[in-house]
Amino acid sequence: MEESIKEIITQRQFKRTAALDPRCKVALLILIGCVSYFLNGEICSLVLVASFALFIAVGNGTKWAAKMLIFYIVIAYLNALLRYVSIPVLSVIMSVFGVTILKLVPIAMMGIWILRTTHMDDLMVALQRMRLPQAVTIPLVVMFRYIPTLRIEYRMIRNTMDIRGISDTVWKQITHPLSTIEYILIPLLMRCLKVTDELAASGTTRGLELEERRYALNPVHFSWKEYMVTALGIAFLAGLLFLDYTSIGELIIWRV
């Protein structure tokens, strides 16, 4: 029985970039967040999103990378059209909102991909090997585990609404905010409280608070691949910042 469980777990291993160490993925996520905040050029920002969309597509995330890349291009196009609209207050608000979304797209794209391609046991082992205190590792692991659970609960609420003949669309959420609070937010908050207790009980039974060294069935180690990917990622992001804050990037763009 133990051998069969071990075989099932080891067969769920990811491939290519998805099989990288969780520490490498988290490091890239932090670097992308910092660089995305400081980039000002539209071309450099598009290169950032397109490059890491390709990085994600190589590792079990082709559909997700394509969706986020298309979403980024559409938002960037709409944000560019706002320059030709002269509404005193609304234009500024929508422009700021659009820029904020564009800054968050690469972070959300990378973060959700990490959630989908990282086992919580592997993440716990990786964080413990970094010698982080339990006050840091436990909240991070609970947060990573809580987000997919919250998504599942929202789908269950949507299915229940469909069974009862109550449709939930974006237009209705905007035009009927009180109904949205009644039908979605309140049940979701109640489920969040129960899920919190369930996660706490699950962590206690699994010995989440133990200080002993942890092990994982999947190999968790920072090999030469992780060092190479991290170094290439740092070099690439540093090059984008250099091109964005110098006139070299503008000359290259105009020549192309």
Percent of the chain residues past pLDDT 70, beyond the cut: 75
Span of 68-72, 87-91, 110-114, 184-188 with lowest mean pLDDT: 87-91
Neighbour tally for 114: CB within 10 Å: 20
Q: Classify residue 86 as exposed, middle or buried by CB count within 10 Å of its CB (0-12, 13-18, 19+).
A: exposed
Ramachandran bin of 110, using left for φ above 0, alpha for ψ from -120 to 50, beta for the remaining angles = alpha
Nearest to 194 by CA among 146, 158, 159: 146
pLDDT computed for residue 70 by the predictor? 92
What is the band of 235 on the pLDDT scale with cuts at 50, 70, 90?
very high
pLDDT at 111 over 80: yes
Residue 1's identity, in one-letter code, is M
Nearest to 210 by CA among 142, 134, 136: 134
Report how far apart, in Å, the C-alpha atoms of 236 and of each of 31, 48, 226 are: 11, 9, 15
Nearest to 198 by CA among 146, 155, 250: 146
pLDDT computed for residue 212 by the predictor? 61
Nearest to 50 by CA among 71, 69, 26, 73: 69
Task: Look over the chain and give the mean of its residue pLDDT values, rounded to a whole number.
Answer: 77
Higher pLDDT, 55 or 18: 55
pLDDT at 7 over 50: yes
pTM for the whole structure: 0.74
DSSP state letters, 127-189? HHHTT--HHHHHHHHHHHHHHHHHHHHHHHHHHHHHHTT----HHHHHH-HHHHIIIIIHHHH
CB 78 within 8 A of CB 136: no
How does pLDDT run across 87-107, given as a tens digit for each residue? 776 777 777 888 888 889 999
User: 139 by DSSP, 3-state: which?
Assistant: helix
